[in-house]
Amino acid sequence: MSDATKPLLQLRDTKISYGAIEAVKGISLELAKGELVSLIGANGAGKTTTLNAIAGLLPVAGGEVLYDGAKINALPAHKRLRQGLALVPEGRGIFTRLTVEENLRMGAYCRRDSDAIEADMERVFTMLPRVRERLQQVAGTLSGGEQQMVAIGRALLSRPRLLLLDEPSMGLAPLVVEKIFEVIRSVAAEGVTILLVEQNANLALEFSQRAYVMESGRITLTGSGADLLADPKVRAAYLGE
Protein backbone atom coordinates (compact mmCIF):
# COMPACT_ATOMS: atom_id res chain seq x y z
CA MET A 1 0.00 0.00 0.00
CA SER A 2 1.62 3.19 -1.18
CA ASP A 3 -0.69 5.55 0.64
CA ALA A 4 0.53 6.33 4.13
CA THR A 5 -2.86 7.52 5.42
CA LYS A 6 -4.92 5.20 7.58
CA PRO A 7 -7.04 2.69 5.69
CA LEU A 8 -10.71 3.46 5.05
CA LEU A 9 -11.75 -0.13 5.58
CA GLN A 10 -9.94 -2.78 7.53
CA LEU A 11 -10.91 -6.35 8.37
CA ARG A 12 -8.87 -7.99 11.11
CA ASP A 13 -9.20 -11.73 11.42
CA THR A 14 -12.90 -11.38 10.65
CA LYS A 15 -15.05 -14.50 11.00
CA ILE A 16 -18.60 -14.83 9.70
CA SER A 17 -20.90 -17.77 10.41
CA TYR A 18 -24.28 -19.02 9.34
CA GLY A 19 -25.38 -20.82 12.47
CA ALA A 20 -22.78 -23.50 13.14
CA ILE A 21 -21.20 -23.17 9.71
CA GLU A 22 -18.26 -20.83 9.53
CA ALA A 23 -18.34 -19.36 6.03
CA VAL A 24 -15.50 -16.90 6.50
CA LYS A 25 -12.73 -18.26 8.71
CA GLY A 26 -10.79 -15.23 9.76
CA ILE A 27 -9.74 -12.89 6.97
CA SER A 28 -7.78 -9.67 7.05
CA LEU A 29 -7.81 -7.07 4.35
CA GLU A 30 -7.59 -3.33 4.02
CA LEU A 31 -8.48 -0.60 1.57
CA ALA A 32 -6.80 2.79 1.48
CA LYS A 33 -8.87 5.83 0.57
CA GLY A 34 -9.40 6.05 -3.16
CA GLU A 35 -8.27 2.51 -3.91
CA LEU A 36 -10.04 0.14 -6.26
CA VAL A 37 -9.58 -3.36 -4.92
CA SER A 38 -11.18 -6.57 -6.00
CA LEU A 39 -11.97 -9.76 -4.16
CA ILE A 40 -12.02 -12.79 -6.42
CA GLY A 41 -12.54 -16.47 -5.91
CA ALA A 42 -14.70 -19.44 -6.82
CA ASN A 43 -18.36 -19.86 -6.05
CA GLY A 44 -18.91 -20.37 -2.34
CA ALA A 45 -15.52 -18.98 -1.32
CA GLY A 46 -17.23 -16.45 0.96
CA LYS A 47 -16.96 -13.29 -1.14
CA THR A 48 -20.61 -12.25 -0.96
CA THR A 49 -20.71 -13.21 2.72
CA THR A 50 -17.77 -10.90 3.33
CA LEU A 51 -19.38 -7.96 1.51
CA ASN A 52 -22.70 -8.49 3.30
CA ALA A 53 -20.94 -8.47 6.65
CA ILE A 54 -19.07 -5.28 5.76
CA ALA A 55 -22.39 -3.67 4.84
CA GLY A 56 -23.96 -4.84 8.10
CA LEU A 57 -26.41 -7.38 6.69
CA LEU A 58 -24.68 -10.24 8.49
CA PRO A 59 -23.25 -10.26 12.01
CA VAL A 60 -19.55 -10.72 12.48
CA ALA A 61 -18.74 -13.77 14.60
CA GLY A 62 -15.17 -12.83 15.45
CA GLY A 63 -12.42 -10.35 14.69
CA GLU A 64 -12.96 -6.72 13.80
CA VAL A 65 -14.39 -4.57 11.06
CA LEU A 66 -12.93 -1.07 11.12
CA TYR A 67 -14.31 1.72 8.99
CA ASP A 68 -12.55 5.05 8.93
CA GLY A 69 -10.68 4.02 12.05
CA ALA A 70 -13.75 3.07 14.10
CA LYS A 71 -14.92 -0.42 14.98
CA ILE A 72 -18.30 -1.00 13.35
CA ASN A 73 -18.86 -4.68 14.18
CA ALA A 74 -22.25 -4.03 15.76
CA LEU A 75 -23.41 -1.06 13.72
CA PRO A 76 -26.72 -1.81 11.91
CA ALA A 77 -26.75 -1.62 8.11
CA HIS A 78 -28.82 1.55 7.88
CA LYS A 79 -26.34 3.45 10.05
CA ARG A 80 -23.40 2.27 7.98
CA LEU A 81 -24.95 3.80 4.89
CA ARG A 82 -25.24 7.11 6.72
CA GLN A 83 -21.47 6.99 7.21
CA GLY A 84 -20.88 6.59 3.50
CA LEU A 85 -20.65 2.83 3.18
CA ALA A 86 -22.87 1.59 0.35
CA LEU A 87 -23.40 -1.90 -1.06
CA VAL A 88 -24.78 -2.81 -4.46
CA PRO A 89 -25.94 -6.28 -3.47
CA GLU A 90 -25.71 -9.51 -5.36
CA GLY A 91 -28.60 -9.77 -7.80
CA ARG A 92 -28.87 -5.95 -7.78
CA GLY A 93 -31.62 -5.66 -5.16
CA ILE A 94 -33.81 -3.42 -7.26
CA PHE A 95 -37.21 -2.56 -5.79
CA THR A 96 -39.12 -4.09 -8.67
CA ARG A 97 -42.49 -2.54 -7.78
CA LEU A 98 -41.13 0.98 -7.46
CA THR A 99 -40.43 3.16 -10.48
CA VAL A 100 -36.88 3.80 -11.59
CA GLU A 101 -37.07 7.30 -10.20
CA GLU A 102 -38.35 6.02 -6.85
CA ASN A 103 -35.50 3.52 -6.75
CA LEU A 104 -32.99 6.30 -7.28
CA ARG A 105 -34.65 8.46 -4.65
CA MET A 106 -34.40 5.59 -2.19
CA GLY A 107 -30.64 5.92 -2.66
CA ALA A 108 -30.87 9.49 -1.42
CA TYR A 109 -33.20 8.50 1.43
CA CYS A 110 -30.94 9.81 4.17
CA ARG A 111 -30.11 13.10 2.49
CA ARG A 112 -31.99 16.36 3.05
CA ASP A 113 -30.03 18.54 0.63
CA SER A 114 -32.62 18.46 -2.15
CA ASP A 115 -30.73 20.76 -4.52
CA ALA A 116 -27.62 18.62 -4.33
CA ILE A 117 -29.76 15.49 -4.80
CA GLU A 118 -31.16 16.88 -8.05
CA ALA A 119 -27.64 17.72 -9.20
CA ASP A 120 -26.51 14.18 -8.35
CA MET A 121 -29.49 12.75 -10.26
CA GLU A 122 -28.29 14.72 -13.28
CA ARG A 123 -24.79 13.29 -12.85
CA VAL A 124 -26.22 9.78 -12.73
CA PHE A 125 -28.16 10.47 -15.92
CA THR A 126 -25.03 11.73 -17.66
CA MET A 127 -23.23 8.60 -16.65
CA LEU A 128 -26.17 6.31 -17.39
CA PRO A 129 -28.27 7.95 -20.12
CA ARG A 130 -30.58 4.97 -20.43
CA VAL A 131 -31.75 5.42 -16.86
CA ARG A 132 -33.22 8.81 -17.68
CA GLU A 133 -35.32 7.36 -20.50
CA ARG A 134 -36.85 4.87 -18.08
CA LEU A 135 -37.51 7.09 -15.07
CA GLN A 136 -41.26 6.52 -14.78
CA GLN A 137 -41.10 2.84 -15.65
CA VAL A 138 -41.65 0.22 -12.95
CA ALA A 139 -38.15 -1.06 -12.26
CA GLY A 140 -39.15 -4.73 -12.48
CA THR A 141 -39.73 -4.28 -16.22
CA LEU A 142 -36.12 -3.25 -16.92
CA SER A 143 -33.54 -5.54 -18.48
CA GLY A 144 -30.80 -6.95 -16.29
CA GLY A 145 -28.24 -4.43 -17.49
CA GLU A 146 -30.57 -1.52 -16.92
CA GLN A 147 -31.36 -2.82 -13.44
CA GLN A 148 -27.66 -3.02 -12.65
CA MET A 149 -27.26 0.56 -13.80
CA VAL A 150 -30.15 1.68 -11.61
CA ALA A 151 -28.63 -0.23 -8.68
CA ILE A 152 -25.28 1.51 -9.15
CA GLY A 153 -26.90 4.90 -9.73
CA ARG A 154 -29.00 4.40 -6.61
CA ALA A 155 -25.90 3.62 -4.54
CA LEU A 156 -24.14 6.72 -5.93
CA LEU A 157 -27.04 8.91 -4.85
CA SER A 158 -26.15 8.15 -1.24
CA ARG A 159 -22.77 9.84 -1.95
CA PRO A 160 -20.74 6.88 -0.75
CA ARG A 161 -17.13 7.06 0.36
CA LEU A 162 -16.80 3.31 0.14
CA LEU A 163 -18.73 1.46 -2.54
CA LEU A 164 -19.06 -2.30 -2.30
CA LEU A 165 -20.03 -3.96 -5.57
CA ASP A 166 -21.17 -7.57 -5.60
CA GLU A 167 -20.81 -9.21 -9.01
CA PRO A 168 -21.94 -6.29 -11.15
CA SER A 169 -21.28 -8.35 -14.29
CA MET A 170 -23.47 -11.28 -13.28
CA GLY A 171 -25.77 -12.49 -16.02
CA LEU A 172 -25.05 -9.59 -18.37
CA ALA A 173 -23.98 -9.52 -22.00
CA PRO A 174 -20.31 -8.61 -22.62
CA LEU A 175 -21.14 -5.22 -24.10
CA VAL A 176 -23.25 -4.30 -21.10
CA VAL A 177 -20.52 -5.50 -18.75
CA GLU A 178 -18.08 -3.22 -20.53
CA LYS A 179 -20.43 -0.29 -20.12
CA ILE A 180 -20.88 -1.00 -16.43
CA PHE A 181 -17.17 -1.30 -15.79
CA GLU A 182 -16.67 2.00 -17.57
CA VAL A 183 -19.08 3.54 -15.09
CA ILE A 184 -17.27 1.94 -12.17
CA ARG A 185 -13.99 3.30 -13.48
CA SER A 186 -15.37 6.84 -13.65
CA VAL A 187 -16.77 6.51 -10.12
CA ALA A 188 -13.34 5.40 -8.93
CA ALA A 189 -11.77 8.34 -10.77
CA GLU A 190 -13.89 10.65 -8.65
CA GLY A 191 -12.14 9.33 -5.57
CA VAL A 192 -14.70 6.82 -4.30
CA THR A 193 -13.02 3.82 -2.70
CA ILE A 194 -14.30 0.61 -4.27
CA LEU A 195 -14.27 -3.01 -3.20
CA LEU A 196 -15.37 -5.17 -6.08
CA VAL A 197 -16.38 -8.82 -5.82
CA GLU A 198 -16.21 -10.67 -9.12
CA GLN A 199 -16.27 -14.16 -10.47
CA ASN A 200 -14.92 -12.87 -13.72
CA ALA A 201 -11.36 -12.83 -12.39
CA ASN A 202 -9.74 -11.75 -15.61
CA LEU A 203 -11.87 -8.65 -15.84
CA ALA A 204 -11.53 -7.81 -12.16
CA LEU A 205 -7.75 -8.19 -12.08
CA GLU A 206 -7.20 -6.09 -15.18
CA PHE A 207 -9.43 -3.50 -13.74
CA SER A 208 -8.21 -3.06 -10.17
CA GLN A 209 -5.07 -1.82 -8.48
CA ARG A 210 -4.93 -4.65 -5.99
CA ALA A 211 -6.80 -7.85 -5.39
CA TYR A 212 -7.38 -10.52 -2.79
CA VAL A 213 -8.01 -14.11 -3.73
CA MET A 214 -10.44 -16.00 -1.54
CA GLU A 215 -10.74 -19.75 -1.20
CA SER A 216 -13.03 -21.66 1.18
CA GLY A 217 -13.44 -18.77 3.57
CA ARG A 218 -9.79 -17.69 3.66
CA ILE A 219 -7.67 -15.20 1.77
CA THR A 220 -4.97 -17.22 0.06
CA LEU A 221 -3.25 -14.66 -2.14
CA THR A 222 -2.96 -10.96 -2.45
CA GLY A 223 -1.09 -8.58 -4.70
CA SER A 224 -1.45 -6.06 -7.46
CA GLY A 225 -3.88 -6.86 -10.22
CA ALA A 226 -1.08 -7.25 -12.74
CA ASP A 227 0.98 -9.59 -10.52
CA LEU A 228 -1.97 -11.82 -9.83
CA LEU A 229 -2.83 -11.93 -13.51
CA ALA A 230 0.67 -13.22 -14.16
CA ASP A 231 0.66 -15.67 -11.26
CA PRO A 232 0.48 -19.25 -12.60
CA LYS A 233 -1.53 -20.43 -9.59
CA VAL A 234 -4.18 -17.79 -10.18
CA ARG A 235 -4.19 -18.48 -13.89
CA ALA A 236 -4.70 -22.17 -13.22
CA ALA A 237 -7.41 -21.77 -10.60
CA TYR A 238 -9.44 -18.82 -11.84
CA LEU A 239 -8.60 -18.07 -15.41
CA GLY A 240 -9.17 -21.55 -16.73
CA GLU A 241 -5.63 -22.30 -17.84
Partner 1 sequence: METLLQQTVNGLVVGSVYALVALGYTMVYGILGLINFAHGDVLMIGALVALEAIRLIQLYAPDLGLIPTLLGGLGVSVIVCMALGYTIERTAYRRLRNAPRLAPLITAIGVSFLLQTLAMIIWGRNYHTFPQLVSTTPLEPVAGVFITPVQIAILVVSATLMVALLLLVNKTRLGRAMRATAENHKVASLMGVDTNKIIAATFIIGSALAAVAGVMFSSNYGIAHYAMGFMPGLKAFTAAVLGGIGNLGGAMLGGLLLGLVESIGAGYIEDMSFGFLNSSYQDIFAFVILGIVLIFRPTGLLGERVADRA
Interface with partner 1 by CB under 8 A: which residues? 55-57, 76-79, 81-82, 86-87, 89, 93, 95-98, 102, 105-107, 109-110, 154, 158
Q: Judged by CB, which is closer to partner 1: 98, or 127?
A: 98
Q: Judged by CB, which is closer to partner 1: 1, or 77?
A: 77
CB of 163 to partner 1, least distance (A): 12
Q: Judged by CB, which is closer to partner 1: 70, or 175?
A: 70
Q: Edge-to-edge strands of the sheet including 218-224?
A: 85-88, 162-166, 193-198, 36-41, 210-215, 218-224
CB of 19 to partner 1, least distance (A): 12
Q: Judged by CB, which is closer to partner 1: 140, or 171?
A: 140
CB of 106 to partner 1, least distance (A): 5
d(CA 68, CA 66): 7
CB of 107 to partner 1, least distance (A): 6
Q: Judged by CB, which is closer to partner 1: 105, or 235?
A: 105
Residue 101's Cα: distance from chain center in Å? 22
Pairing of strands 62-67, 9-18: antiparallel
Half-sphere exposure of 20 (CA within 13 A, CB side): 0
CB of 27 to partner 1, least distance (A): 22
Residue 184's Cα: distance from chain center in Å? 10
d(CA 110, CA 120): 14
d(CA 69, CA 86): 17
Q: Judged by CB, which is closer to partner 1: 12, or 105?
A: 105
Q: Which helix (H) or strand (E) holds 180?
A: helix 174-189
Question: What are the start-end ranges of the E strands in the chain?
Answer: 9-18, 21-31, 36-41, 62-67, 70-71, 85-88, 162-166, 193-198, 210-215, 218-224
CB of 100 to partner 1, least distance (A): 13
- The distance in angstroms from the start CA to the end CA of the chain is 29
